[in-house]
Structure 1
Amino acid sequence: MLEINHVQKNFNDQVVLKDVSLTGQPGQLIHISGENGSGKSTIFKIITGIIKPDKGNIAIAPQKTIGALIENPGFLEFESGLTNLKFLANLNHHYDEKKIKKLMSGFGLNPENKRAVSKYSLGMRQKLGIIQAIMEKQSIILLDEPTRGLDQESLKHFATLVTQLKEEGKLVIIASHSFDHDLSYDAWYRLADGVLIREK
């Protein structure tokens, strides 16, 4: 479904990625760990096409779509959570209000609440970011530090949600500092000195 082949990336004179290779298949959950600035977000940006690699290539199976939460998600700050998700889904003509409201409620967000996103806490913004990454039946889901700011109840719901995505045949890749032992990973990698090393 996804192949990353010997990707390299420099920013000015700084080498961020020296040699990154990874293969992901439907129904897999993959974890990438690494320190701040190690290049985890850069890998995701290359997969999504936001930036181009200096060397190497990315291969994605035909008809596969990508959903991503990368770094700090951007929203229409003075609109509600539901309005934001509706706007984002309508960009690809995949707006399913029933599904989106169910996803919001699952994370304890009231879809009818008109509160502006600018008033949201970090955890609430993270929840919206996770929802926008999965709400359009995306095949490949990239989640960058997805559990930042989530309370215990939301962490449990997140683990359940990721398990469901795996069962639906999605490829889910989570990048974070810490390893979440509540999730059943199929493979995990460590990014250090620009090299992606498989730990399992």
Structure 2
Amino acid sequence: MILQIENLTKKIKGVTVLDNINLTLTGGTCYGFEGKNGSGKTMLMRTICGLIRPTSGVVKFDDKVLGKDYSFPPSIGVLIENPAFIPEYSAFKNLKVLASINSKVTDDEIKEVLEQVGLDPNEKKIYKKFSLGMKQKLGIANAVMGSPKVVLLDEPINAIDESGVENVRKIIAKLKEKGSIIIVACHDKEELEFLSDEIYTIFEGKIVDHRSLNENE
């Protein structure tokens, strides 16, 4: 999978929130987005997954144009801001409903991904009684369920404990092994550097810096 962002600009009410973004992202790599609140990180993620249409420029997945060749990317997992689930359903039942949409994820795979994030697949507690950490873990599980080719994680370690952070690290490592493109935005600079192979700094809607964290490059 190759994700290309070409000359992407987004304006809202005359204000430029993304300014001529150009990126080429490849599979098996974790990319970090860093920047202050309002810099454009989340807006760029929303544009990549098709929730927001650019004012100009294109997003392409393996040379197919988002919004032209298809409305949404064919294989993508997303955790952006506060995920919404059915309040009266358990973690397993919520993921079961979502998995039934494309019938590509089995019950065993749902149980496995819940265990990976640190949730008990047999737990009967319903979502509305979850702690913030449990809700965040379920959001991560939903995003990575089925090992999508592109995974967007906006502040994935918010509200989760140390063991949960370690689980996120392991999940990202496994996704990289499977050839996924992972994009992570995180205010914890140390953790972002730990997770990422490359980091892009975004400021006022522009990419102002890029650095590789691979020692052999």
Does the CA-based 8 Å contact 1:163-1:183 persist in structure 2?
no
Q: Are residue 186 (structure 1) and residue 197 (structure 2) matched? A: yes
Does the CA-based 8 Å contact 1:64-1:140 persist in structure 2?
no
For the structure 1 residues 64 and 198, does the alpha-carbon distance in structure 2 shift closer, same or farther, using more than 3 Å as the test? Answer: farther
Give the alignment of 1:9-158 within 5 angstroms. Answer: 9-61=10-62, 65-158=75-168
The CA RMSD measured in Å over matched residues stands at 1.6
User: Shift in Å at residue 120 of structure 1?
Assistant: 1.2
Unaligned residue ranges in structure 1 (runs of 5+):
none
Q: Separation in 2 of the partners of 1:133 and 1:20?
A: 24
Q: What whole-Å deviation, never above 9, does each CA across 1:52-99 have from its counterpart, x for those lacking one?
A: 000111010269511111111111112111111011111111231112
Unaligned residue ranges in structure 2 (runs of 5+):
65-72, 212-217
**Structure 1 SS opposite 2:58:** strand
Moved over 6 A (4+): none
**More contact order relative to length (CA 8 Å, sep ≥ 6):** 1
For the structure 1 residues 34 and 74, does the alpha-carbon distance in structure 2 shift closer, same or farther, using more than 3 Å as the test? Answer: same
Q: Among residues 183, 194, 197, which one is paired with 1:173 in the alignment?
A: 183
Q: Separation in 2 of the partners of 1:172 and 1:96?
A: 23
Task: Indicate the residue corresponding to 1:198 in structure 2.
Answer: 209
Q: Separation in 2 of the partners of 1:34 and 1:130?
A: 21
TM-score, normalised with respect to structure 2: 0.86
Q: Name the amino acid aligned to 1:137.
A: S
User: Shift in Å at residue 46 of structure 1?
Assistant: 0.9
User: Shift in Å at residue 119 of structure 1?
Assistant: 1.2
Does the CA-based 8 Å contact 1:159-1:182 persist in structure 2?
no
Does the CA-based 8 Å contact 2:147-2:175 persist in structure 1?
no
Q: Separation in 2 of the partners of 1:26 and 1:107?
A: 22
Task: Indicate the residue corresponding to 1:159 in structure 2.
Answer: 169
Q: Name the amino acid aligned to 2:99.
A: A
TM-score, normalised with respect to structure 1: 0.93
